Structure 1
Amino acid sequence: MAVLAAALMTLSPATGCSRHGPSDDGRAPHRSAAPAQSPTPSPSASRASGSPLAVKIDNVPAARPQTGLDAADVVYAEQVEGGLSRLMAVYATRLPKSVGPVRSARESDLELLRQFDEPTLAFSGAQRKLLPLIHRAPLRAESPDEAAAAYYRGTSRAAPHNLYLRPDRLLRSAPGRGALTTGFRYGPAPAGGRPTASRTVRYPAARFAFTWSARQGGWQVSMDGTPAVTTGGQRLAPPTVVVQYVEVRSSRYHDRLGNHTPYTETVGSGKAVVLRDGRSFDATWSRPGATDGTTFTAAGGGPMDFADGQVWVVFAAAPS
């Protein structure tokens, strides 16, 4: 298990790049990401019709508010270098017009995405030694190098926090709920649980807080002490939040200072806390293999069902 020392907020050119050149260090992708072209999906679009879209999303203060995050079916939050956080948003039931800011992939993303059937991964780049693994993984890697016309640079923020994706240039349409092979179950809450007003999850240099809102029927999200809203001003409030306790260790990759990237183990089993309906439920999670979804069991032994709607899964380091 690794608790990393503070490091740079962005990776070095050697650790945040596309196959042809840097794309995550403040410079534009190797190919120009021009929005002017007509929204014609890439050749992989027809093959991806039954698979979800996963987008790596920036989550430092300079990247907020994010665009399109409210349309995701599942949002995963993970720890990255320097104890900061990054998001992976998964889209199956609807595709927003734009998503971002898009940032780089990490090694543990490949394990997390194995639960889906050849998902499309939208990302800005990756560490050079990691890129071959991404392109050998059972997914469709769509960085600006592979699909330049799907990306554009916004004008209201400085790079690297201004790279955005137009999903309809990767997928013709949303694949539907059947593409969400997460193992999650949805239905009435189990008996019990504790009335809960809020819950906070802390990383070494980041934190998430979730506060129950009966009016919104969800858990209002705050990041690093600031309310999380969409670019339209709507407060993010997923009906279900999962705090999943996992092993976080050092990966084989590192930033320019030599600090290793955290690897989040999502295969295995452990404890979890599920927030829904203004209550918190102790649970356990199990994912026997990488191609399996994750099942959650309530403390009483029955299935831990989630509320309908968006689910946030926050990976937290299990106590040692």
Structure 2
Amino acid sequence: MRRSHFRRTLAAVTLAATALTLAGCSGDDEEPTADSSPQAVAGGSTLDSTWPLTGLEVTGDESAAQDHPVIVTKIDNTSSSAPQVGLGSADMVVEELVEGGLTRLAVFFYSDLPDEVGPVRSMRASDIGIVSSTDATVVTSGAAPRTIKRISGAGIDFVAEGAAGITRATDRSAPYNVMADLTTIADKIDQQDEVRPDDYLPWGDESDFPQGQKATAITASFGGHTTEWKYQGGSYQNTNGYAGQGDEFSADNVLVLRVKVGDAGYLDPAGNPVPETEFEGKGEAMLFHGGQLVRGTWQKDGLDGTITLSTKAGKLTVPAGHTWIELVPQDNGSVQFN
């Protein structure tokens, strides 16, 4: 797998800046080659003509092999983050548990890089399982020292405060004022070749989606935070989110994966244990699309493995489109719908 070299070439400024910002963190199938035949996917499209994070067809003269890697930005998901910036440009979002039963967003950008996203917050060890399969670069405000050690040990590149493209907004309060220009960050990433990342999810066509049960309202609870969705106008809208008006993430799919949660082994500055989502193995899956729910199971072999979905009838694919993934704890979380 390819690796960007931004962290290594700017190690001094990035790691030094990370050290300064730690106190502000809250606890803190094979890739096709040039001479190989494109791999076919559902609907007759090929990997080189679809976007890896949405499964949607690439239009015009564009290519799904970009001159930058997938860029995942860690964005705050509390009322203090309002208004969140950049969600409307994202390909995909993963919501993960953090300390206190709250959540944080891992926002995936690839087909479109906005010049402002945020507020940017710190990484967690949970991010290893979330970003590894795409060989992504993570944009973060920093992280706890043991988290940095584990993220680096997993071979994940990250860009922290102090690097070009990450600034502090003067109209927001710290630590909710770190913003990122992904165009500037992408320009600084030394990517040797344009390589299309692997598909994040098993994409399929609308016609592949099986008949499910009606479900137009969803509530995903993480303990201290719930995320609510309403199916309207052909997509799912987050009715209690913090995105700026006109900058909301409109989801074609909401994919709920019930996950095990362990202990990261340290406390945040407020004394709360920091949880760690164990995003590998298997568990219950709930795929919401078109106002319907299909139940199944998910499987992921290793933290860097890709996600597969299945029902009792066999393989389950996700209709191509923008997807919000809820990593809901299987023990202390819950999912309701009507």
1:197 matched to which residue of 2? 216
Q: How many angstroms apart in 2 are the aligned matches of 1:168 and 1:25?
A: 25
Q: How many angstroms apart in 2 are the aligned matches of 1:74 and 1:132?
A: 26
Relative to the length of structure 1, the TM-score reads 0.78
- Off by >6 Å, runs of 4+ in structure 1: 173-177
1:22 matched to which residue of 2? 21
Q: How many angstroms apart in 2 are the aligned matches of 1:83 and 1:176?
A: 39
Contact (CA 8 Å) 1:200, 1:207: kept in 2 or not? yes
CA pair 170-116 structure 1, distance change in 2 beyond 3 A: same
Q: How many angstroms apart in 2 are the aligned matches of 1:180 and 1:131?
A: 25
Structure 2 residue 237 is the aligned partner of structure 1 residue 220: yes
2:113 matched to which residue of 1? 95
1:42-191 matches, within 5 Å, as 49=67, 51-117=69-135, 119-145=136-162, 147=163, 149-172=164-187, 178-188=196-206, 189-191=208-210
Structure 2 residue 313 is the aligned partner of structure 1 residue 300: yes
Relative to the length of structure 2, the TM-score reads 0.74
CA-atom RMSD in angstroms: 2.6
How far 1:238 sits from its partner (Å)?
0.5
Contact (CA 8 Å) 1:122, 1:142: kept in 2 or not? yes
Gaps of 5+ in 1: 1-16, 28-47
SS of the equivalent of 1:107 reads coil
How far 1:153 sits from its partner (Å)?
1.6
The aligned amino acid for 2:168 is R
Choose 275-284 or 185-194, whichever is displaced more: 185-194
Contact (CA 8 Å) 1:24, 1:103: kept in 2 or not? no
How far 1:136 sits from its partner (Å)?
3.1
1:289 matched to which residue of 2? 302
CA pair 155-232 structure 1, distance change in 2 beyond 3 A: farther
Q: Deviations over 1:232-287 (max 9, x none)?
A: 43543200001100101211222124422111011101111001011011011010
Q: Pick the aligned partner of 1:241 from 254, 262, 286.
A: 254
Q: How many angstroms apart in 2 are the aligned matches of 1:180 and 1:88?
A: 18
Q: How many angstroms apart in 2 are the aligned matches of 1:84 and 1:270?
A: 22
SS of the equivalent of 1:231 reads coil
CA pair 24-75 structure 1, distance change in 2 beyond 3 A: farther
CA pair 319-257 structure 1, distance change in 2 beyond 3 A: closer
Gaps of 5+ in 2: 1-15, 27-65, 333-338
Q: How many angstroms apart in 2 are the aligned matches of 1:261 and 1:26?
A: 12
Alignment length (residue pairs) = 274
Q: How many angstroms apart in 1 are the aligned matches of 2:194 and 2:237?
A: 26
1:303-318 matches, within 5 Å, as 303-318=315-330
1:37 matched to which residue of 2? none
How far 1:24 sits from its partner (Å)?
6.1
* Identical positions, percent: 26
The aligned amino acid for 1:255 is D
Q: How many angstroms apart in 2 are the aligned matches of 1:280 and 1:171?
A: 37
The aligned amino acid for 1:247 is K
How far 1:125 sits from its partner (Å)?
0.7
SS of the equivalent of 2:318 reads coil
SS of the equivalent of 2:20 reads coil
